[in-house]
Amino acid sequence: MNKQYFSYFVAVLLAVLIIAPGMAAAHKHTYTNMSACDARQMIEKEDVFLLDVRTPVEYELGHIEGAVLIPLKNVKSDPDALSPEELLPARMKELPGNKNTKILVYCKVGIRGAETGSLLADAGYKNVYNIDEGLDRWVKEGYPIVATYESWNEVWSKLLTQ
């Protein structure tokens, strides 16, 4: 092989080694953050699996109607710690079997929702959405939740006055 062809070969090889990892990363599945307004429109107009990843105590204080509760993890403020079998990583089979199903995730402020979005995308779900700023933003926008009178007075009405 002469020097000219060898130089071309090395240049092509280097290009492939540099570009190929970037192309592989570009195919990684991700999730999308969306506003409470867009999330509400999605719930009203589309077939979507609504996933609440907060704890049972948080869920009982208030949740979006139709949401399925599968907690992502325990939180320090919740006195009733759940076993690992009760948390989302162990309960993935409860999610839709069709990886193209739209899944709208929410938590209290968006952090656990974002973690869940990554977890679901890594599991192969292609249409995962997280409500940016979680249920707190949903309530601040004036959208409805299922809540008791007591939880509204003790929790949600205070959020609206902040």
pTM exceeding the 0.85 threshold for the entire prediction: no
Res 126 pLDDT > 80: yes
Name the nearest CA neighbour of 132 among 109, 104, 115. 109
Please report the beta strands in the chain, taking only residues with DSSP state E, as ranges in sequence order: 32-34, 49-52, 68-69, 102-106, 127-131
Of the two residues 75 and 95, the one the predictor is more confident about is 95
Kindly indicate the confidence band of residue 158, based on its pLDDT and cuts at 50, 70 and 90. Answer: confident
Kindly indicate the confidence band of residue 148, based on its pLDDT and cuts at 50, 70 and 90. Answer: confident
pLDDT more than 90, % of the chain = 68
CA 48, chain centre distance (Å): 13
Secondary structure class of 129 (helix, strand, coil): strand
Average pLDDT, the chain: 88
Distance between CA atoms of 120 and 129, rounded to whole angstroms? 10
Kindly indicate the confidence band of residue 156, based on its pLDDT and cuts at 50, 70 and 90. Answer: confident
